[in-house]
Amino acid sequence: MKTLRVGIVGFGNLGQAAENSLKQQPDMCLAGVFSRRKLSHPSYMPIAVLDEGRVEVDVLLLCGGSAKDLPKQTPHFAGQHNVVDSFDTHAAMQQHFEAAHAAATRGGKVAILAAGWDPGVFSVMRCLFEATLPQGNSASFWGPGISQGHSDALRQLPGVKDARQYTLPDEAALNAARSGKPVAKAHKRLCYVVPEEGANLQQLEHSIQTLPHYFAGYETQVVFVSQEELLQKHAGMPHAGHVVRHGSTQDAHAHLLEFSLKLENNPAFTASVLVACARAACRLHQQGATGAYSLLDIPLGLLSPQTPQELRQRIV
Amino acid sequence: MKTLRVGIVGFGNLGQAAENSLKQQPDMCLAGVFSRRKLSHPSYMPIAVLDEGRVEVDVLLLCGGSAKDLPKQTPHFAGQHNVVDSFDTHAAMQQHFEAAHAAATRGGKVAILAAGWDPGVFSVMRCLFEATLPQGNSASFWGPGISQGHSDALRQLPGVKDARQYTLPDEAALNAARSGKPVAKAHKRLCYVVPEEGANLQQLEHSIQTLPHYFAGYETQVVFVSQEELLQKHAGMPHAGHVVRHGSTQDAHAHLLEFSLKLENNPAFTASVLVACARAACRLHQQGATGAYSLLDIPLGLLSPQTPQELRQRIV
């Protein structure tokens, strides 16, 4: 088994978690950590080194954000290297795939995109569930887990010193989905808020609960805490979720499929999925494939360090 | 979208369920029901017709048993047609794949094997979970559901007129697996038994609970019922199960992945998986692929009637 040289581009939470994940792989090593800003990391190299072809890498993990980094980085690097990203802006997915596909095809490389848990593992579940139970209803639930976007929105509000927001699945909605009933309000929002000194708490609670696009229309609970309590109890990055499909076969028998995950650390697991996809990207490339793929477009056995024969004997 | 002509070989519970499943597919029609024994079904044809090439089929669903039918039928038909089977004898898996692979490669056809829920959907889960959480422990649980083999074993015993056996997951073991603790006794056995008239019930219970290979060493509960009650309450074919993986990323964070299913009718869902795989077999063949594949060896998007683009826009 050849050792794959894996480069990490971007070294925030996800990039750091990817470095950790590489240590768990029997067939991979870190080829470099590439960043625009100078890092004190021993494997740091300026990102420009990649364009200059001065470093040998088999695959790049693109660990930047979907808003600003990946729309540029993925098509750029897909023309030069096999790449994996966790692009998750649903509305721009098709455009992102097309740009990466064109670049990867031109460069003779493989790009695996939208790898993570959602999109990624959840996408696999939604597809497999729907294909094997074509008549039925699917629902995805997220949480309990920290939503970065909603936490940021809270912190923008006047009177808020610091805050974290948990998205929670509504238990009644989850049970409705499991019974094949329609799901209305699937999620609740729980806000831990450190108020500025002297803030009017009642007014602050009201302005949170009515904040358009974020909390208006949701069952939103606001809990005021001290800065110490927030740092002590809510500094982690846990997440969780469910994909549920209830369906019927033609004989009127009902069936239920459910996937759930519970993560102590969201970027740690996302990175672990990215790293498994890096292996798949290298193998596909070795088989002569080129272009952009999602997790639905590749055999999942390619994620494992084992061969198809080994997998058949052990876990098929 | 071309309509795929799908043949069903063998018309027991699975074959009949496959016919039902075809009615739910937008892109498939029944090309024929092939059986060694004469059926009154309007689409019945003698199985020999397939060898004579007198019928147009795009793919065959091989719905016979793993013990006697499939070891011969799969390699035989894989040389002539795209085929899908639900072969589930783990110990003979590799040999079965090799025989089918040789035939399918020779004939330029595609064979998708071990398709169903276990092996099949469970295999996908075991592989995906292990690849994305390489450090951890996996466990599979089956039930509550009817085990045909154990029900047959009960019916062989002197003093037993009729019987059905449910395999049940041990709740304590399931919770241990979810906490990453070792799983000892994962299953219990629940037997509904109709005794022969005049049978010594205490002695019968003892001989069931100590039956080697089936019940000895398991927590086995025996419930004596009337023939009427057995037919009324235990004539169905429900099944269920879980695949659980608890693992840790290198940063010592723990994560839990779990898949579960609950089926009102076991052959109905198995057939639904087979039929989705029939679509994948035809597409792979159209792409120029040949040989034998498990669900780990094919992109799962091929199971869906939709295109990769449609799937990306809707469920990635």
DSSP-derived secondary structure for A228-259: HHHHHHS-SB-EEEEEEEEEE-TTS-EEEEEE
Structure tokens at A228: 């110490």
d(CA A202, CA B138): 48
Helix (H), strand (E), coil (C) string for chain B: CCCEEEEEECCCHHHHHHHHHHCCCCCEEEEEEEECCCCCCCCEEECHHHHCCCCCCCEEEECCCCCCCHHHHHHHHHCCCCEEECCCCHHHHHHHHHHHHHHHHHHCCEEECCCCECCEHHHHHHHHHHHHCCCEEEEEEECCEECHHHHHHHHHCCCEEEEEEEEEECHHHHHHHHCCCCCCCCEEEEEEEEECCCCCHHHHHHHHHCCCCCCCCCEEEEEECCHHHHHHHCCCECEEEEEEEEEECCCCCEEEEEEEEEECEHHHHHHHHHHHHHHHHHHHHHCCCCEEECCCCCEHHHHCCCCHHHHHHHCC
**How far is residue A161's CA from residue A181's CA, in Å, rounded to a whole number?**
41
Q: How does residue A13 score in pLDDT terms, banded at 50, 70 and 90? A: very high
Least confident of A218-222, B147-151, B188-192, B294-298: B147-151
Q: Is the pLDDT of residue B178 over 90?
A: yes
Query: Which residues from B are below 8 Å from A93, CB to CB?
Result: 312-313, 316
Q: What is the pLDDT of residues A178-202, one digit of tens each?
A: 999 988 889 999 999 999 999 999 9
Cβ neighbors of A230 (< 8 A, separation 6 or more) are A162, A163, A164, A192, A194
How much is the pLDDT for B215? Answer: 95
Give which of B121, B66, B126 is closest to B92, Cα–Cα. B66
Structure tokens at B112: 């998708």
- The nearest CA of chain A is from the CA of B160 a distance in Å of 30
Alpha-carbon gap: B39 to the closest alpha carbon of chain A (Å): 20
Question: What is the structure's pLDDT at A226?
Answer: 98
Q: Which of B11, B103, B121, B141 is nearest to B65 (CA)?
A: B11
Q: In what order do the strands lie in the sheet with A219-224?
A: A145-146, A160-169, A187-195, A219-224
pLDDT at position B23? 98
Lowest mean pLDDT among A105-109, A156-160, B183-187, B274-278: B183-187
pLDDT exceeds cutoff 80 at B162: yes
CB atoms inside a 10 Å sphere around CB B130:
24
In this prediction, the answer to ipTM > 0.85 reads yes
State the pLDDT confidence band at B103, using cuts at 50, 70 and 90.
very high
For tokens 């087979």, name the residue.
Answer: B274
Reported as a pLDDT band with limits 50, 70 and 90, residue B307 is very high
Token duo for residue A118: 């959602």
For A222-240, the pLDDT digits (tens) are 999 999 999 999 999 999 9
Predicted local distance difference test score (pLDDT) of residue B222: 98
* Strand B291-293 versus strand B254-263 pairing type: unpaired
- Angle at CA A265, nearest 5°, toward B135 and A260? 75
Q: What is the dihedral of CA B15, B19, B24, B29, to 10 degrees?
A: 120
Report helix, strand or coil for A49.
Answer: helix
Instruction: Report whether pLDDT(B259) > 90.
Output: yes
**Cβ atoms of residues A145 and A118 within 8 Å:** no
Q: How far does B131 lie from chain A, in Å, by closest CA?
A: 5
Q: What are phi and psi of B129, to 5 degrees?
A: -65, -45
CA dihedral A205, A207, A212, A216 (to 10 degrees): 40
B1 has pLDDT over 80: no
pLDDT recorded at residue B19:
98
Q: Is the pLDDT of residue B105 over 80?
A: yes
Percent of chain B exceeding pLDDT 90 equals 96
Residue of A nearest to B23 (CA): A250
Cβ A253–B263 below 8 Å, yes or no? yes
Average pLDDT over residues A77-97: 96
Rg (CA), chain A: 22
Q: Which residues of B touch A304 (CB under 8 A)?
A: 127, 130-131
Q: What percent of chain A has pLDDT over 90?
A: 96
- Residue B184 banded pLDDT, cuts 50, 70, 90: confident
Rounded Cα distance, B59 and B47, in Å: 14
pTM flag (> 0.90): yes
Q: Which residues of A touch B114 (CB under 8 A)?
A: 312, 316
Q: How many Å lie between the alpha carbon of A300 and the closest alpha carbon of chain B?
A: 5
The answer to whether A138 and A124 are in contact (CB under 8 A) is no
pLDDT score of B182: 86
Mind listing the pLDDT tens digit for each residue in B207-220?
Answer: 999 999 999 999 99
Residue B240 pairs with which residues in a beta bridge? B262
Q: Is the pLDDT of residue A149 over 80?
A: yes
pLDDT of residue B2: 85
Q: Which residues of A touch B121 (CB under 8 A)?
A: 128, 132, 257
Contact A39, A12 (CB under 8 A): no
Q: Is B123 within 8 Å of A315 when comparing Cβ atoms?
A: yes
How far is CA B176 from its chain centroid? 26
Question: Per the CB < 8 Å rule, is B93 touching A273?
Answer: no
Nearest Cα of chain A lies from the Cα of B199 at a distance, in angstroms, of 37
A316 CB neighbours in chain B (<8 A) are 93, 114, 119, 123, 294-296
Question: In whole numbers, what is the pLDDT of chain B averaged over residues?
Answer: 96
Residue B26, class by beta-carbon neighbours within 10 Å (0-12 exposed, 13-18 middle, 19+ buried)?
exposed
Question: B185 or B9: which carries more pLDDT confidence?
Answer: B9
Bridge-based pairing of strands A82-85 and A110-112 is: parallel
For residue A21, which residues of chain B lie inside 8 Å, CB to CB? 249-250
The CA distance from B117 to B143, in Å, is 12
Average of per-residue pLDDT across A268-278? 98
